[in-house]
């Protein structure tokens, strides 16, 4: 039996990454952990995010013998992935980061919007990534306080209101010179409401998310080839089980039997 791949996020945002992983690796088993009892990470202190990332990683290794780990959260990747790799050198660890390089290459106006959590934008890892793209495009950064939490709680009214506020804050969007023609979704929660954001930005703006490249990288680093058996998918949460069940049904059109994790 193929050992599973562990996937964790501060909540339901990682479902967007899991969806891409399952498309790329249809025969692979997964264990998904939503740390909803401690969400949102993007508005927490880095020390808290590191502590939670370590605890979840230890649990996935000890309880499920995962063969690889996907940190399906931009904030946790920025705060903790270097430490996780140092502490678990035997374990391939794949993280997510905002798609600045692909966005710079895709943009025709050379003006790119970045929607992300405050924790991601203020992290040293993101600032290093931004510096590496200096001169490739003009990046307009927008911290989206509360948006991940609204998505986490499936609050459609709040999602619409916050989405409108942050899209307006980016400035003029479109294909004309000086306008933003590409927007990076720098939080794994945001692709779940891509249709809402696209409607606010307009049809001329391209949205870029991290799920597909993360899935391709995971395939590359897996220490064993996925077989053709019957893959399993386990769901765990540190928050209310019905919250994750509802999210899986809404965003992935699937049913989930969710276990509660107390760590």
Q: Give the CATH number for residue 156.
A: 3.40.50.1860
Do both 132 and 205 map to the same domain?
Answer: yes
Same domain, 181 and 142: yes
**pLDDT, tens digit, 9 for 90 and up, residues 84-107:** 999 999 999 999 999 999 999 999
Domain of 237 in residue numbering reads as 5-96+212-260
Per the structure, how many domains does the chain have? 2
- What is the b/e burial string over 122-152, where b = at least 16 CB atoms within 10 angstroms of the residue's CB? bbebbeebeeeeeeebebbbbbbebbbbbbb
- Both 120 and 192 in a single domain? yes
- The arithmetic mean of pLDDT across residues 230-246, rounded, is 94
Whether 216 and 92 map to the same domain: the answer is yes
Give the tens place of pLDDT for each residue, 46-89: 999 999 999 999 999 999 999 999 999 999 999 999 999 999 99
pTM above 0.85, yes or no: yes
- Which sign, positive or negative, has the C-alpha torsion 144, 7, 49, 98? negative
Please state the rounded mean pLDDT for residues 126-141: 96
Catalytically active residues are: 73, 187
Query: In terms of domains, do 110 and 201 share one?
Result: yes
Q: What is the pLDDT of residue 227?
A: 53
- Average predicted confidence (pLDDT) for the chain: 94
| Same domain, residue pair 204 and 234 | no
């Amino acid at each position: 039996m193929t050992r599973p791949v562990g996937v964790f996020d501060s909540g339901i945002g990682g479902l967007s990454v899991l969806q891409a992983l399952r498309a790329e690796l249809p025969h692979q088993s997964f264990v998904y952990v939503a740390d909803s009892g401690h969400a949102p990470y993007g508005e927490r202190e880095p020390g808290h995010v590191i502590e939670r990332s370590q605890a979840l990683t230890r649990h996935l290794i000890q309880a499920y013998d995962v063969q690889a780990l996907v940190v399906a959260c931009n904030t946790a990747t920025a705060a903790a992935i270097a430490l996780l790799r140092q502490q678990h050198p035997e374990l391939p660890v794949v993280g997510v980061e905002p798609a600045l390089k692909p966005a710079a290459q895709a943009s025709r106006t050379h003006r790119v919007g970045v929607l992300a959590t405050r924790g991601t934008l203020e992290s040293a890892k993101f600032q290093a990534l931004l510096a590496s793209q200096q001169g490739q495009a003009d990046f307009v950064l927008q911290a989206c306080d509360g948006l991940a939490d609204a998505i986490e709680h499936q609050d459609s009214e709040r999602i619409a209101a916050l989405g409108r506020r942050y899209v307006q804050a980016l400035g003029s969007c479109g294909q004309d010179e000086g306008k933003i023609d590409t927007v990076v979704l720098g939080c794994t929660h945001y692709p779940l409401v891509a249709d809402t954001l696209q409607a606010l930005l307009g049809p001329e703006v391209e949205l870029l998310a991290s799920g597909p490249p993360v899935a391709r990288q995971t395939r590359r680093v897996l220490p064993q080839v996925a077989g053709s058996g019957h893959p399993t998918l386990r769901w765990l949460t540190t928050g209310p089980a019905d919250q994750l069940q509802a999210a899986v049904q809404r965003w992935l059109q699937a049913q989930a039997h969710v276990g509660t994790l107390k760590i």
